[in-house]
Amino acid sequence: MNVRKHFAARAFLVAVVLFATNFTLQGQWLWPVDGAKAGENMLLVPQQYLDTEHNFDDIIIAAPEGTKVIAPADGEIRFLSVGIYTSLASTYTTHFTQGSFDSAIADYRAKYKTLPVKGQYLQGCAGITLDDGRKIYISGLKGDVELKTGMKVKKGDQLGNVSYCYHKITSPSIMLSVSTPDSRPADPMTPFGLKTTFKEAGELVLPEYLSAEQANEDFTVLMNAYRECYPSLEEIVTPEQFDAFDKKQRAAMKKASPTQISTML
């Protein structure tokens, strides 16, 4: 009798473990690169640096160009866009509601003759809203898969094919990030069963005044953003005029008091 109870208990324990494992696998997201294992060929994860850029919430994944990119989870296409990343945090994009990435990219090329980066980095992005309100964003897409905003996608459905997601990554790759229902950055690694490096953003405390050094750093970011995000800037001001304005403002900030600096930015 004791032997029967022992085997019955073991059988029950095995069943519980198998059920829990199956439940976990069902809830776990699929790696977006078709045929690859979760965590395979990650080039960049949260809290790493790419040159001087701090990567806060993206995963960049390498794969052969043209590899299928699939939906990690069930959801609804929230938006579709094509464009370029001028930095990890800045994009220059246009949205579309229906069609393929290849056709949208062709339309973009026809409209914008000049790009601030090489043409191969012009790529597509798909945003998927999940049932719990989280959103998955996958960039670095191309292909002739027909998509439409509002359409339902199932876990494993093809979204497109691997292209080039960012001009500082020279190999074919995609970029993935996740946001909360209220559009705050979220952990992109744990849903795939990976040990995460993601860190929640702390509370932003703004100083009452900026030092001259802080003001100069912020001004550099601002001016670089103008150069990177607005490829048609030279149609408004010449490079010489832009550089002259840059030098004039920096000279003025050197002489200004902290209270004056705060009104100049």
The verdict on 112 and 233 lying in the same domain is no
The verdict on 158 and 65 lying in the same domain is yes
Tell whether the torsion through CA atoms of 95, 99, 102 and 106 is positive or negative: negative
The verdict on 108 and 180 lying in the same domain is yes
In terms of Cα–Cα distance, which of 127, 140, 135 is closest to 185? 135
The verdict on 159 and 243 lying in the same domain is no
Work out how many domains the chain is built from and give that number. Answer: 3
Q: Which positions of the chain have pLDDT values less than 70?
A: 1-26, 204, 228-232, 258-265
The verdict on 159 and 249 lying in the same domain is no
Domain containing 132 — which CATH number? 2.70.70.10
Look at residue 22 in the predicted model and tell me its pLDDT: 44
207 within domain boundaries: no
The verdict on 22 and 46 lying in the same domain is no
200 within domain boundaries: no
pLDDT (tens digit, 9 = 90+) per residue, 196-229? 999 988 776 777 777 778 888 888 888 877 776 6
How distant is the alpha carbon of residue 239 from its chain centre?
Answer: 31
The verdict on 120 and 17 lying in the same domain is no
The verdict on 163 and 248 lying in the same domain is no
The verdict on 229 and 161 lying in the same domain is no
Look at residue 223 in the predicted model and tell me its pLDDT: 83
> Could you tell me the CA-to-CA distances from 37 to 13, 33, 41, 109 in Å, in that order?
28, 8, 9, 34
Range of the domain at 25: 1-29
35 within domain boundaries: no
Look at residue 227 in the predicted model and tell me its pLDDT: 72
Report the C-alpha gap between 160 and 28 in whole angstroms.
21
Look at residue 31 in the predicted model and tell me its pLDDT: 99
150 within domain boundaries: yes
**Do residues 45 and 194 make contact, with C-beta atoms less than 8 angstroms apart?**
no
201 within domain boundaries: no
**Do residues 243 and 224 make contact, with C-beta atoms less than 8 angstroms apart?**
no
Look at residue 262 in the predicted model and tell me its pLDDT: 62
73 within domain boundaries: yes
The verdict on 120 and 92 lying in the same domain is yes
Look at residue 145 in the predicted model and tell me its pLDDT: 98
197 within domain boundaries: no
The verdict on 119 and 183 lying in the same domain is yes
pLDDT (tens digit, 9 = 90+) per residue, 180-200? 999 999 999 999 999 999 998
216 within domain boundaries: yes
Look at residue 13 in the predicted model and tell me its pLDDT: 46
The verdict on 20 and 48 lying in the same domain is no
